[in-house]
Amino acid sequence: MEKISITTEHITLGQFLKYVNHVSTGGEAKVFLAEGKVRVDGERETRRGRKLYPGSVVEIDPGGKYEIVDKQD
């Protein structure tokens, strides 16, 4: 599992998908999420505005598994 550190309190799922280079725009994120290939903490997620906090685990099929961590970790 790859660890992704953030310096803010949270990051949205749409921003996260852009950060890990799965999509390049918010519109692409919306379409990608509608395909049902993303899980957050084990549950399917289709909202690009879903807030991810340190401890959140994002699984992308295909693409990998990521854990959100604080910058200081």
pLDDT band at 72 (very low <50, low <70, confident <90, very high): low
Predicted confidence (pLDDT) per residue in 36-57, tens digit: 999 999 999 999 999 999 999 9
Q: Which residues of 42-60 are buried (b: 16+ CB within 10 A; e: fewer)?
A: eeebeebebebebebebbb
Domain count, the chain: 1
CATH number of 42's domain: 3.10.290.10
Q: What is the pLDDT of residues 31-41, one digit of tens each?
A: 999 999 999 99
Give the pLDDT of residue 71: 81
What range does the domain containing 31 cover? 2-70
Helix (H) or strand (E) holding 8: none
pTM for this entry: 0.88
